[in-house]
Chains A and B, each alone.
Chain A
Amino acid sequence: MTATLIFLALLMGAVVWWLVRQTINVKPWVASAPSGAQQGVGFLAPPKVALGVLLAVITSLFALFISAYSIRMELSDWRPLPEPDLLWVNTAILFVGSLGLQWAWRGAAREQWPAIRGGLVVGGGCALAFMAGQVLAWQGLAASGYLVASNPANSFFYVLTGLHVLHLLGGLVALARTSGHAWAGALAKTRLGVELCAVYWHFLFVVWLILFGLMLST
């Protein structure tokens, strides 16, 4: 459970620090007229805060899986499986997708529609290609006899990669909606959507790096 505890300690530390800063010198019993400064977290749009919270939940989910992985790994029946080389290609594809959305984000800040639309296409296309690549990797492994139930290492490989793909799939729904806004030319909504998608894509890329690194090293 170490991975989970470290993650939670960091998160709780941040939450408590923020709360203490907000609350330590306040005398709540003193009445005063409201001022503009007394509202919200730095005036971020609610969807951005929501994405932050959602990422914390997803991180908690993966941290728990990683904890379970490291506990289960210690038992005697664990036989590491050879990760297919295809995964390196998939990693590169996912990275390009992340870059594409970063490009779109920059474009959105400068109101450059070709960059926005191009970036969205790259991001979405790469995500689809990555998922296809993962499916190929699963098929390859299954064909060489590494079935999901034959060893816990295999089970974890399929579950972790599968869960990651599912999260990417959810991201594609948001990406499709944002693309709708982008092609309709709604700037404010596109800006927000592109930013959220880009952050989510970067996040899933980092999660993938951690998962991939964990599976390579064990």
Chain B
Amino acid sequence: MAQVAHDAVTDADLRPFEVAEEPLYHPKTFIGKYIWSQDAKIIAIQYGITAIGIGLVALVLSILMRLQLGFPESFSLIDPANYLQFVTMHGMIMVIYLLTALFLGGFGNYLIPLMCGARDMVFPYVNMISYWVYLAAVLILVASFFVPGGPTGAGWTLYPPQAVIGGTPGTGAGIILMLISLCVFIVGFTMGGLNYVVTVLQARTRGMTLMRLPLTVWGIFMATVLALLAFPALFVSCIMMILDRLIGTSFFMPAMIAEGMQTAYDGGSPILFQHLFWFFGHPEVYIVALPAFGIVSDVLATHARKNIFGYRMMVWAIVAIGALSFIVWAHHMYVSGMNPYFGFFFATTTLIIAVPTAIKVYNWVLTLWRGNIQLTVPMLFAIGFIFTFINGGLTGLFLGNVTVDLPLSDTYFVVAHFHMVMAVSPVLVVFGAIYHWYPKITGRMFDETLGKIHFWITFLGTYAIYYPMHYLGFEGVPRRYYAYGETAFMSESAQDLNVAISIAAIVVALAQVIFIYNVIKSLFSGEKAGHNPWKATTLEWQTPHTPPRHGNFDEDKLPSVYRWAYDYGVPGAKEDFIPQNVPSEEMAAARAQGETSAQGETKADG
């Protein structure tokens, strides 16, 4: 490898790579720079814009759902079939095309090379392809809205047989496009994921040991490992379902009578699909959560001006959660008629995974303890995340137990739980992270007041939406129903709650306009941010240019790392933070000494 110069470190004790590093790709044209870009930062922005764009579609779908639930029979354009399609597409888009893509493709691409001290991802070309494949997956998904019969309405879990047989909306082209889009997404993600993993493993700069990595990188790294191993399960189930749908195999489809006709299917196992789907589906929760955990740790430490409490424990908790997340999947299937011992096993593993998760929560709170807390907008979102995550996590303890889950299964309690824990919580982190890194990405500050308004409406609004849903769930109100009509078990006030929830949902959705306005407006009129407005320690804030140019750091040398990412408020230090690439005075002196003696030796040899 053509040795890259690092300041202050000799190359003598490094074994060179056997193949020369490819020279950094330098685009000359506008298209090469911003469209077919191989710069991870541009790819990150492309991922981010695409993910947020499709996420807005899913947001609109959720509002349409709420309109129907809050004001039934008022909107003639929403019929039962549409409603199910909205439910399905909202869930699928939010989980996969927004959150997964944004955390790994967006934040992963932007932050991994910068935080590791690398010039770019190790395979920039593959990285570029990864985005375009992702975009293709999104377009295929969007296309399904416009085919005859519309998108699939099978629920985001796509359970067979109802995802495939007539009677469910979108069993024509809709379900096929959905499955193909998922396969394409997985192929694209695998290309990106290889990059993220190998960059973290192989492209860290001198001195950036694993235990000096910011927790953001740890979270994204472990989430990528999970995704690389778990997405194949979705891939396998999609392929088999496409074959069931298109050429009449019976992997999942049992012998059945549909719409008065005996189908040609015979003997397939819908439960097999559920196992495969949730074998992907549960790690998916942590694919979304682990990057959020990592990012929130860094935001909290930076804005509390205090080192993260229990760094090593945080790293091991991330690894433990990642490993455990593969043996809890069947807690999504308690009502599928499983052996009670099987359920007992999965309830136990589910409760065990709460231990490392709780360690993380305690450590966040202890990081805040006696910190010099700056209530900036990113910090508000990070603290909001802790509250919301605890709320959502605690209801997870209810649902993780078989006996409690059985009556609550398929009610609004479940909807409330997973929205708190894996929708609102990560989304709060997404906002916090965008506000936190906005000055680095754009070079300008966002409008603080608008940011705070956005925070308070979003944070309180989501509680107004999801808290009442727990109560609806206890009453037994089932999810995925288009309309409830007269029932014996639902109190009359249930409909009043639905109205209130819908109004809160509309307010929260509208509040996102403030965010988008703030992002766009600040791009032009925001105050110049400078290199390091938060006085943060990690390497992305130490770049010579803001926004960082292609190649990230000084053209002739990469930074060397002397310390971990959390040297805030170090006793005796001149400032309340010491960046990772700053040596201590003794080290600087020893280095100067070493250089002099090395020169002396060279002279003596000569």
Contact = CB atoms under 8 A, between A and B. Distances in A.
A65 B236 contact: yes
B335 interface: no
Q: Which of B123, B197, B249 has the most CB of A within 10 A?
A: B249
Contacts of A92: none
Interface string B1-34: 0000010111111110111100000000000000
Nearest to A1: B275
Nearest to A41: B201
Nearest to B584: A31
Contacts of A40: 201-204
A50 B280 CA distance: 22
Nearest to A42: B15
Contacts of B15: 43
Contacts of A49: 197-198, 201-202
B198 A64 contact: no
B211 A28 contact: yes
A152 interface: yes
B535 interface: no
Interface stretch (B69-77, B143-151, B227-235, B460-468): B227-235
A16 to B, nearest CB: 6
B229 A5 contact: no
Contacts of A8: 229, 326
Contacts, number: 196
B122 A29 contact: no
Contacts of A192: 18-19
A44 interface: yes
Contacts of A12: 322-323, 326
A61 B232 contact: yes
B13 A35 contact: yes
A22 B210 contact: yes
Contacts of A16: 319, 323
A143 interface: no
Interface in B303-347: 307, 311-312, 315-316, 319, 322-323, 326-327
B229 A56 contact: yes
B232 A57 contact: yes
B92 interface: no
A68 B243 CA distance: 14
Given A46-B202, A72-B272, A53 B197 contact: yes
Contacts of B510: none
Interface string B564-602: 101100000000000000011001001100000000000
B587 A33 contact: yes
Given A45-B17, A65-B236, A5 B327 contact: yes
B517 to A, nearest CB: 41
A89 interface: no
Interface in A19-44: 19, 22-23, 26, 28-29, 31-41, 43-44
Contact of A64 (B233, B267, B564): B233
Nearest to B560: A34
Contact of A46 (B198, B236, B250, B269): B198
A34 B232 contact: no
Interface residues of A, number: 57
Given A16-B319, A26-B209, A192-B19, A4 B279 contact: yes
B248 interface: yes
A43 B307 contact: no
A40 B11 CA distance: 15
Contact of A33 (B203, B312, B583): B583
A5 B324 CA distance: 12
A217 interface: no
Interface size of B as a range:
35 or more
B551 interface: no
Contacts of A206: none
Contacts of B235: 61
A11 B226 CA distance: 11
A70 to B, nearest CB: 10
B240 interface: yes
Contacts of B206: 34, 36, 38-39
Given A29-B311, A46-B122, A57 B198 contact: no
Nearest to B591: A33
A23 B267 contact: no
B417 interface: no
B276 A68 contact: yes
B190 interface: yes
Contacts of A4: 233, 279
Nearest to A38: B209
Contacts of B13: 35-37
A19 B210 contact: yes
A189 interface: yes
Given A40-B202, A148-B247, A77 B210 contact: no
A53 B198 contact: yes
B202 A28 contact: no
Interface in B194-219: 194, 197-198, 201-212
B584 A149 contact: no
A173 interface: no
A68 to B, nearest CB: 6
Interface in A145-193: 148-149, 152, 155, 159, 163, 188-189, 191-192
B475 to A, nearest CB: 36
Interface in B521-562: 560-562
A86 interface: no
B239 A159 contact: yes
A47 to B, nearest CB: 8
Contacts of B248: 149
Top 10 nearest A-B pairs by Cβ distance? A34-B207, A77-B267, A36-B13, A31-B563, A61-B232, A155-B249, A34-B206, A28-B211, A46-B122, A149-B248
21 contacts: A8-B229, A15-B323, A16-B319, A29-B564, A29-B566, A32-B587, A33-B560, A36-B10, A37-B13, A38-B209, A39-B206, A41-B201, A44-B202, A46-B198, A56-B228, A77-B266, A148-B249, A149-B248, A152-B250, A152-B268, A155-B243
Given A23-B312, A50-B122, 8 more contacts: A5-B326, A11-B229, A32-B587, A33-B583, A47-B123, A53-B197, A152-B250, A163-B239
